Amino acid sequence: MTAVAVHAVATAYPPFCLKQEEVMAKASEVFGHRPELMQRMAKSYGNAGVRQRNSCVPLEWYAKPHGWPERARLFEEHATKLLADAARRAMADAMIEGRDIAATVTVSSTGISTPSLDSLLQEPLGLLPTTQRLPIFGLGCAGGVIGLARAAAMARAMPEQWVLFLCTELCGLTFRGSDDSKANIIGTTIFGDGAAAVLLRTADPGKPALAHIHAWGEHTWPGTRDVMGWRVEDDGLGVVFSQSIPVLVRDKMRGVTDAFLTAQGLKQSDLDGLIVHPGGEKVLAALEQCYGFEGDELADARAVLAEHGNMSAVTVLAVFERALARGASGRHLMTALGPGFSVGMCLVDLQP
């Protein structure tokens, strides 16, 4: 089938940079009523693989209570700004304007906005009123890959038309100081905010592509709905993390990706690399076990995790951008795990 060309990948980050030791100190303050819990959890900050992350609100915000109205207002304000920044960078790189874009696909799972974020971006980005819009909610961390696949499918269905894939997650805004569960505290060790934009097209617009997407797929394991996701609570979204995630990745991931590659007439040894969503250090270690890696095959993922934390769906796109920036080339499998419990997969050729 027709390959879909990637002509730009751009990220954007909010201004507040939170160092891991600062976050740990603030978490110890917020959960000071349970000092024994924080003593047990302290090592998680050092083992998370995160040095710093960006936030759309200052560190002090996390020490105060917040309800749905404030969270929704902050989400809409900062999500639209970050998406606009990433989209403008992508359009500048591809040398196109808003009126050239025929469709948008927008992924986010950390906040709600109606009208949807894509409609709020039409005028700021100069998109035409006839631009087709597909907002997607609920994919969680898998949204970076599954959303990219949906955008590629639209580009394939709209030959010679530009499709803009947008993704933003403001994970920090979901923090609830009233929740002293282990899952919520683990969230404070890894979560960050960010946005990404990718421009896709099937036909050659007159300049070489950065990469080509050839195929995509996904898999949801039965009976795993409680492994990862959000709970709707009175004051916001409550994070759901199961301790079984690394075990599921180690034991189940390889079989699924092997089946996907087989359907494309390929095997693992035909790949030049993997572009993965770094959910956390334990997940990266599980992926290394799963694929038998012994070197620095996941160095890009680790670098993004260290610099920006886990930005849910945005993270794998930041890894994609980093791989392109360092000149990686050849056939790569892009994967991300998310609620469901699911994995999204894309077969991507990075151009030298």
Backbone phi and psi for residue 230, each to the nearest 5 degrees, phi listed first:
-125, 145
Domain ranges of the chain: 4-201, 211-350
Neighbours of 91 (CB within 10 A): 23
Would you say residue 204 has pLDDT above 80? no
Instruction: Give CA–CA dist 258/61, Å, rounded.
Output: 44
Instruction: Give CA–CA dist 81/269, Å, rounded.
Output: 41
- In three-state secondary structure terms, 338 is strand
Bond into 165 cis (ω within 30): no
Quick check: do 4-201 and 211-350 share a fold? Answer: yes
Q: Cα dist. 173→45, 213, 234, 259 in Å?
A: 19, 33, 14, 37
- Per-residue pLDDT band for 10 (boundaries 50, 70, 90) equals very high
Q: How far is CA 238 from the centre of its chain?
A: 18
Instruction: Give CA–CA dist 277/312, Å, rounded.
Output: 8
Would you say residue 203 has pLDDT above 80? no
Q: How far is CA 65 from the centre of its chain?
A: 26
Specify the pTM.
Answer: 0.95
Strand partners, 163: 103, 200
Please give the share of the chain, as a percent, with pLDDT higher than 90. Answer: 77
- Kindly state the tokens that stand for 307: 């610099």
- In three-state secondary structure terms, 274 is strand
For residue 27, which of 242, 189, 172 has the smallest C-alpha distance? Answer: 189
Instruction: Give CA–CA dist 326/329, Å, rounded.
Output: 9
Instruction: Determine contact, residues 144/205, Cβ cutoff 8 Å.
Output: no
> Locate tokens 């955008």: which residue?
151
Q: What is the rounded average pLDDT for all residues in the chain?
A: 93
Instruction: Give CA–CA dist 32/48, Å, rounded.
Output: 21
Q: Cα dist. 233→127, 227, 239, 243 in Å?
A: 36, 18, 10, 21
Q: Where do the DSSP E strands lie in 151-192?
A: 162-170
Report the CATH number of the 4-201 domain.
3.40.47.10
- Per-residue pLDDT band for 35 (boundaries 50, 70, 90) equals confident
Q: How far is CA 71 from the centre of its chain?
A: 20
Instruction: Give CA–CA dist 187/174, Å, rounded.
Output: 9
Mean pLDDT in residue range 212-220: 96
171 is catalytic: no
Instruction: Determine contact, residues 196/11, Cβ cutoff 8 Å.
Output: yes
pLDDT tens figures, 311-335 = 999 999 999 999 999 999 999 999 9
pLDDT for residue 32: 78
Instruction: Give CA–CA dist 282/231, Å, rounded.
Output: 23
CATH H-level, domain 211-350: superfamily: Thiolase/Chalcone synthase (3.40.47.10)
Neighbours of 22 (CB within 10 A): 12
Q: Where do the DSSP E strands lie in 155-227?
A: 162-170, 193-201, 211-220
- Per-residue pLDDT band for 141 (boundaries 50, 70, 90) equals very high
Catalytic residue (one of 141, 167, 171, 346): 141
Q: State the burial class of residue 28 (Cβ atoms within 10 Å of its Cβ: 0-12, 13-18, 19+).
A: middle
